[in-house]
Amino acid sequence: MISDFPPAAILILGALLVPFFKGKAKNWYVILLPAAAFYLISQLEVGSSWQVHFFGFDLTFLRVDKLSKVFGYIFTLNAVAAFVYAFYLKDNTQHMAALLYIGSAIGVVFAGDLVSFYFFWEVMAVASTFLILGRKTEKAQAAGMRYIMVHIFGGLCLLAGMVIYITETGSIAFNAITDRNLGTYLILIGLLVNAAAPPIHAWLPDAYPEATVTGGVILSAYTTKTAVYTLVRGFPGWEILIVVGCIMTLYGIIYALLENDMRRILAYSIINQVGFMVCGVGIGTIMSLNGTVAHAFCHIIYKSLLWMSAGSVLYMVGKSKCTDLGGLYKTMPWTLIFGAVGALSISSFPGTSGFTSKSLIIDGAIHEHLMWVWLVLEVASAGVFLHAGIKFPYFVFFAKDKGLRPGETNKGMLIAMGFMAFMCIFLGLYPQPLYNVLPYEVPYQAYTFTHVIAQLQLLMLSALVFFLFLKLLKRTETISIDTDWFYRKGGRLFYYVMDKALNGINSVSERIFVGGLAGYLGRVSRDGPTRAAILVMVPAWVIGGAKGEKLAVKKANVRAALRTGTSPIGITAAIATIFLVVVFFLM
């Protein structure tokens, strides 16, 4: 039956065959796989499932409901676009890693139990690392290493939490979690590592900008959004997530404003956008959860589009720092136009998809009378236009002409960007198809006159501030210190302290034990017999009448005899006796 075949298997098994295809056939093949998975997901009936009995557990590799389906749709749709974008790429490793990564992300959203969920979750972490290492630069190697270490940490938190949770509840089912104890908080931390919530977020802006051109596009969509899915599934209505989400929205903006590297700006804006979604999960009403899912859906599209346009620039120019870029509108007009659609979309500009999805979350906050949350989200919405909506396109395509004349990027990239830009505008003008596939049925109308005007006021005044404050925003050739400092510099500091402390202890011990104590013991054991012999013999000689010089000569004779091992039998016997007496007492 087609209706109970896990769609993840198409991509994961399909990945194994990639090396057998040559030339363009390889590229068509990798496009076809997610397209087939998309079709399969559209055929899955809500309520169906596929279970396997494994080591005493009933593993549910397929749990179909509206929530898993909507994520399945967008994951496969985005994969098709990403592989069209990567039509120039012949690298087997990157294609296989991407398919495994996307396949296991789909595996996570269709997993009905914690065990299979955890399995796919870890495969994701490993496979995605190869999209970073694929850049083959020293920086990418180091960033990839840090990336996998952080994810191993997150995975261990998750595993520990799951073990506690499963032991307590006796069930491996993965549904909404209501208990609040050590186990569930550990699970939450594990998920928030992947959602890139501060302070455990620095892996994202550290690693994604070091990834390959297409790797960045693919990475931007799956890890954080899979985490959003698991939060919607497992932690709806956990108030702490409102706070976490609000912090994320502002944190991302501040760092994106400081950044110079265009892909790092986009990386920080992922944190900002996921913040809106996490906040929606925390609010936990039907409307805000719908908003989170809708926003994740639209976000994947416009964020991929933004990474695609930045990727095209990197691909053509080989540079990604704002200080090296500028004036590209002259030779890369299509990349600019598509990128600008993505930039407007992420800013929730009326007429684009961000407007029809983010409004659901903000209205969710209003309906619950959460004034501060609403205010933070509105401030953050204005800030998005600042850092992603204007800063990114302005410094890359306009600003100062740096004399770069790369020409437009390749056709595959343009087609993929054109498709994603179309989707942004389509879902912005006609969001009903998206609303239809959301987990809950809530009638919603984003386009009221006052709402559109309010949003336009917010955004246009943000634009005005950007250009008024342009001098303050002048790019500098700098990086920004983030929490990865603790394991990058902090690690070295730790090494330095340990080096000094442990080696200090080492040298002190050497002086005391090797030089001092051992030498003393050596002297004692060498001179011991002589001293003992003299101690015993002297009274005998004194009684025998030896005095002064004669006594000294006798002592010297014994010392010399013992040192050379040529002592008279009597003395040897005496020493042996003393030794035996000592041993006897010691025993």
Partner 1 sequence: MQGEKMRPKKEFDYFDRPENKRKLWIMLYVVCAALVVPDFFTQRHSYFGFDGFLGFYALLGFVSCAVLILFSKLVGLALKAKEDYYDK
Binding site for partner 1 (CB under 8 A): 250, 253-255, 257-258, 327, 329-333, 366, 369, 371, 374, 378-379, 382-383, 385-386, 398, 401, 405-408, 449-450, 453-467, 469, 472-473, 476-482, 488-489
**Nearest distance in Å: CB 204, partner 1:** 16
Give the Cα separation of 256 and 275 in Å (integer).
14
Contact predicate 160/188, CB 8 Å: no
**Nearest distance in Å: CB 370, partner 1:** 10
Which of 44, 256 has the CB closer to partner 1? Answer: 256
Which of 332, 533 has the CB closer to partner 1? Answer: 332
Give the Cα separation of 329 and 306 in Å (integer).
15
**Nearest distance in Å: CB 391, partner 1:** 10
Q: How many residues does the chain have?
A: 587
**Nearest distance in Å: CB 251, partner 1:** 11
The H or E element that residue 278 is part of is helix 262-283
Which of 289, 390 has the CB closer to partner 1? Answer: 390
Which of 49, 323 has the CB closer to partner 1? Answer: 323
Which of 11, 332 has the CB closer to partner 1? Answer: 332
**Nearest distance in Å: CB 385, partner 1:** 8
**Nearest distance in Å: CB 20, partner 1:** 33
Which of 75, 385 has the CB closer to partner 1? Answer: 385
**Nearest distance in Å: CB 411, partner 1:** 10
Angle at 148 between CA 268 and CA 293, to 5 degrees: 50
Q: Which structure tokens are listed for 128? A: 């995605």
Give the Cα separation of 336 and 306 in Å (integer).
10
**Nearest distance in Å: CB 265, partner 1:** 12
For 326: left if phi > 0, alpha if psi spans -120 to 50, otherwise beta; the answer is left
**Nearest distance in Å: CB 286, partner 1:** 19
Which of 199, 568 has the CB closer to partner 1? Answer: 199
Q: Which of 215, 211, 299, 301 is nearest to 261 (CA)?
A: 211
DSSP 200: S
**Nearest distance in Å: CB 386, partner 1:** 5
Which of 121, 147 has the CB closer to partner 1? Answer: 147
Which of 145, 366 has the CB closer to partner 1? Answer: 366
Give the Cα separation of 471 and 475 in Å (integer).
9
How many Cβ atoms sit within 10 Å of the Cβ of residue 75? Answer: 29
Which of 40, 246 has the CB closer to partner 1? Answer: 246
For 534: left if phi > 0, alpha if psi spans -120 to 50, otherwise beta; the answer is alpha
Which of 321, 554 has the CB closer to partner 1? Answer: 321
Angle between helices 262-283 and 286-317 (to 10 degrees): 170
- In order of 118, 155, 292, 331, 435, the CA distances from 191 in angstroms are 11, 8, 16, 42, 26
Give the Cα separation of 388 and 266 in Å (integer).
7
Q: Which structure tokens are listed for 242? A: 């409102």
**Nearest distance in Å: CB 247, partner 1:** 14
Give the Cα separation of 41 and 72 in Å (integer).
7
Angle at 114 between CA 112 and CA 116, to 5 degrees: 70
Give the Cα separation of 224 and 307 in Å (integer).
15
What does the H/E/C string look like for 114-137?
A: HHHHHHHHHHHHHHHHHHHHCCCC
Contact predicate 335/312, CB 8 Å: yes
